[in-house]
Chain A
Amino acid sequence: MIEIISESKCVSCNQCVHVCPTNVFDRVENGIPVIARQSDCQTCFMCELYCPVDALYVSPDAEAAIQISEKEVEQQGLLGGYREKVGWGPGRKPVSSHEYMYQLAVKTRF
């Protein structure tokens, strides 16, 4: 479930509010968005992917909220990892064009 919107990183672009398929966030006038309906989160990671400044952290646990602080998330280097792997963001190459995609298909018939 979505756990963290980093106060120090968030630029209030509200992309997460827009892209969340289950409408978990609320926009805040003159502030950063809030996680308003955490239990509606389906743990699809799309908000993390669309966040342009890697300010969000979605915990893999789809069933229950966990206790984790912004500081812990940052120390463990958990912010922005998914976006990097998908290859979104300036100077990155989309993973969809990765040569391994083809090699995997040839070797496994996926």
Chain B
Amino acid sequence: MSVASVKAADLQLVADVLVIGGGPAGTWAAITAASKGAKVVLVDKGYCGSSGATAPSGTGVWYVKPDAELREEAKQSRFGLGGHLAENSWMDRVLDRTYENMNKIAEWGYPFPNDENGTQYRRGLQGPEYMKLMRKKAQKSGVKILDHSPALELLADEHGVGGATGVRTQAGGTWTVHAGAVVIASGGCAFLSKALGCNVLTGDGYLLAAEAGAELSGMEFSNAYAISPTFSSVTKTAYYKYASFYYEDGSVVEGAGSQKGRSIIARNLQQGRQVYARLDQAPEDIQPLLRVGQTNFFLPFDRLGIDPFKDKFPVTLRLEGTVRGTGGIHIAGEHCATKVPGLYAAGDAATRELICGGFTGGGSHNAAWAMSSGSFAGEGAAVYALNLGLKKEFRRLKGLSSSPLSAKAADQSASRKTEEYVRSVQEEVMPYDRNLFRTEKGLDGSIERLDGIWNELRSKAVTLDSDGVKTREAAAMTATARWMYHSARVRTETRGMHKREDFPQLDNEQHHRLVSGGLDQVWVKPQEVQKEAVIH
């Protein structure tokens, strides 16, 4: 049992539903739970409204009118790319719920553009506007928001999860929320790569869930890399469909591209050959539209006096990990329940295989999944918590952190050590020849070193302050990398985004999910994909 669960927290709250994470999935979960009559607290590691991958970006949304033909086309479009691992019934549910929720967003006042007939066009969202609206809507719905309040551990008893505890990095002190149900919506893991908005996404929710006994799924689908200028955080790979790629001497990099040609860029960068891009394929009439579509894409160029349509600029591939991968917490029921009673998962914290298998070609599926799974989880958590009734009053909850929480102050050497652990994990997951192009030998080496890091971190005290938060982030990233690579090792084929150099073909015998879990001992097991999938 950890210290924090023994000593009373500085801020103690009781709620029906606690939501961890204030991005799109978390706010949808909170608003939906509140609409079912639940008392909701939402905690965010940063600020609900600016935190996470969605807030600083524009994104398309998988918004398809309820027309049989259009829906069928939408489901088919990425089914093959995802390695045939999506499930028909989930795609239907998410298409329905996304349609419904986007229409709600319009009702709540989101300023959508109009088409030529004056009808709102609802297939995209601008992050700053969307998340500002979601924060306001959550507050109006009575959700209590704690910003700058990262969770350090879940609390549970023999009946399941019953809350969480953490620290307040700005207000100071600790918080504890006792709740009938907890929704984890803390995003994926991009390993502090500085991909736009992603540095708060360190796999925290995966670790919290696994410590409670929940399972993960599809963690081999975790090697998403985005194209970005070397000098910038802005990762908007879609725009590079208008790019040509060049070597330093001006000759063309044959076969390089934003979709399938990303590997060619990676192999060049790996061999130390800088690749340059220029958006010279963008027709002139499209250029002003592109400038409006992603305002922040052009910001770095404008500030450096570069015209990306005319000038060549050096590019790199920034790791987006599971943020644009599809692996995450395994979903065990329609309301995004995990196998642990009282624990739910939504958004990038949950697996997205159910709607896009092992590959997401862009933000639109993730955005649809965030708002759908968030509202499914919010409903499920509210109903579960409200049905607990009086049972929730007398629970003896204990903390589940795998490393001991400590009320002592951090010392400087500990925080330097944490930085070293983070760098060591990054060295395993960032290099293209380890993560993008995988081999058994490479994975085995990484697993051995990651196991070593985990064993050290396991006994490190987690102080109740910002340093402790970073220690937990390091542990979460280490654990995430281990589930990724153990799963990648077992999948001896190439499917979706998972690429094995030593097994370059798809193997029909491996048309299954890989469920994983465990902390000191990581395990991986195959699980059948639901059979009723009618599309081929």
**Residues of the B chain whose Cβ atoms lie less than 8 Å from the Cβ of A13:** none
The 4 closest A-B pairs by CB, nearest first: A21-B46, A60-B300, A62-B233, A42-B199
Q: In the complex the two chains form, what is the Cα distance from A46 to B53 in whole Å?
A: 12
Q: How far is the CB of B21 from chain A (nearest CB, A)?
A: 12
> How far, in whole Å, are A96 and B59 apart by their CA atoms in the complex?
11
CB-CB under 8 A for A19 and B47, given A94-B129, A97-B112, A102-B114: yes
- Chain A contacts to B: CB under 8 angstroms: 17-23, 40, 42-46, 49-50, 59-63, 78, 81-82, 85-86, 88, 93-105, 107-108, 110
Q: Check if B456 is an interface residue, CB within 8 A of chain A.
A: no
Given contacts A96-B113, A99-B114, contact A63 B194 (CB under 8 A): yes
Evaluate whether A61 and B232 lie within 8 angstroms (CB atoms) in the complex, with A81-B302, A94-B126 already known: yes
Contact between chains at B125 and A96 (CB < 8 Å): yes
Segment at the interface with A among B256-264, B290-298, B337-345, B383-391? B290-298
Chain A residues, Cβ within 8 Å of B169: 23
Chain B nearest CB from A21 CB (Å) reads: 3
Q: Can you offer 6 A-B residue contacts whose CB atoms are under 8 A?
A: A23-B148, A43-B194, A44-B50, A82-B295, A104-B289, A104-B292
Contact of A49 among B128, B198, B304 (CB under 8 A): B128
B51 within 8 A of A: yes
- A108-B233 contact in complex given A44-B196, A49-B128, C-beta closer than 8 Å: no
B231 interfacial contact with A, CB 8 Å: yes
Q: Is the CB of A19 within 8 A of B289?
A: no
CB neighbours (8 Å) of B302 from chain A are: 81
Interface of A (DSSP majority class): helix
B128 adjacent to A23 (CB under 8 Å): no
| Residue B115 at the chain A interface, CB threshold 8 Å | yes
**A96 near B199 (CB under 8 angstroms)?**
no
- The residues in B between 296 and 333 inclusive whose CB is less than 8 angstroms from any CB of A are 296, 299-300, 302-304
- Given A44-B197, A96-B112, A62–B232 Cβ distance below 8 Å? yes
A86–B58 CA distance with the chains assembled, in angstroms: 11
Given the complex, which residues of A lie within 8 Å of B286, measured CB to CB?
104, 107-108
Query: Told that A42-B197, A42-B199, A61-B232 touch, could you supply 9 new A-B pairs with CB distance under 8 A?
Result: A21-B199, A22-B46, A23-B148, A43-B194, A44-B56, A45-B296, A97-B112, A102-B121, A104-B290
A62 neighbours in B (Cβ, 8 Å): 194, 231-233
A-chain residues with CB within 8 Å of residue B295 when the two chains form the complex:
82, 85-86, 95
A49 and B148 alpha carbons, distance in the complex (Å):
19
Does residue B71 face the partner (Cβ distance < 8 Å to A)?
no
In the complex, what distance in Å separates the CA atom of A82 from the CA atom of B197? Answer: 16
Contact A45 B46 (CB under 8 A): no
A61 to B299, CA, bound (A): 11
Cβ of B466 within 8 Å of any chain A Cβ, yes or no, is yes
Q: How many residues in B have their beta carbons less than 8 Å from beta carbons of A?
A: 53
The answer to whether A86 and B128 have CB atoms under 8 Å apart is yes
Question: In the complex, which residues of chain A have a beta carbon less than 8 angstroms from the beta carbon of B233?
Answer: 42-44, 60, 62
Decide: A110 near B55, CB < 8 A? Known: A19-B49, A97-B112: no
Residues of B within 8 A of A22 (CB): 46, 199-200
In the complex, whether B70 has a CB less than 8 A from a CB of chain A is no
In the assembled complex, how far is the CB of residue A97 from the closest CB belonging to chain B, in whole angstroms? Answer: 4
Measured CA separation A40–B192 after assembly (Å): 10
Residues of chain B contacted by A61 (CB below 8 angstroms): 231-232
Residues A96 and B110 in contact, CB atoms below 8 Å apart:
yes
How far apart are the CA atoms of A105 and B295 in the complex, in Å?
15
Residues in A whose Cβ lies below 8 Å from that of B170: 17, 23
B114 partner residues in chain A, CB cutoff 8 A: 97, 99, 102
Which of A23, A61, A86, A94 has the largest count of B CB atoms less than 10 A from its CB? A23
- Interface presence of B147 (CB below 8 A): yes
Does chain A have a CB within 8 A of B123? yes
Contact B303 A59 (CB under 8 A): yes
Q: Closest residue of chain A to B60, judged by CB?
A: A110
Asked if A101 and B124 make an inter-chain contact with CB atoms under 8 angstroms apart, the answer reads yes
B111 x A94 contact (CB < 8 A):
yes
Q: Is B288 an interface residue (CB 8 A)?
A: yes
Across the interface, name the chain A residue whose C-beta is closest to B119.
Answer: A102
A96 to B378, CA, bound (A): 27
List of A residues within 8 angstroms of B55 by Cβ: 21, 44, 46
Give every chain B residue within 8 A of A88 (Cβ-Cβ).
Answer: 128
Please tell me if the beta carbons of A63 and B47 are within 8 angstroms of each other in the complex: no
- Distance (whole angstroms) from the CB of B170 to the closest CB of chain A: 7
Question: Is B238 part of the contact surface with A, judged by Cβ < 8 Å?
Answer: yes
Chain A residues within 8 Å of B347, by CB: none
The proximity string for B residues 366-408 relative to A, scoring 1 for CB distances below 8 Å and 0 otherwise, is 0000000000000000000000000000000000000000000
Q: Among B60, B196, B285, B292, which residue has its beta carbon within 8 angstroms of that of A98? A: B292
For the complex, what is the distance from the CA of A79 to the CA of B47, rounded to whole Å? 23
Taking CB atoms, residues of chain A closer than 8 Å to B300 are: 60
CB distance from A98 to the nearest CB of B (A): 5
Q: Give the residue name and chain of the B residue nearest to A21 (CB).
A: B46
Q: Could you tell me the distance in whole angstroms from the C-beta of B6 to the nearest C-beta in chain A?
A: 27
Q: Is B197 a contact of A96 with CB atoms below 8 Å?
A: no
In the complex, B180 has a CB within 8 A of chain A: no
Q: Which residues of A contact B238 (CB under 8 A)?
A: 110
B121 touches A81 (CB 8 A): no
| Cβ contacts under 8 Å, A110 to chain B | 60, 124, 238, 293
B62 CB to closest chain A CB (Å) equals 13
CA distance A40 to B422 in the complex (A): 13
**What's the minimum C-beta distance from B242 to chain A, rounded to whole angstroms?**
9
B52 within 8 A of A: yes
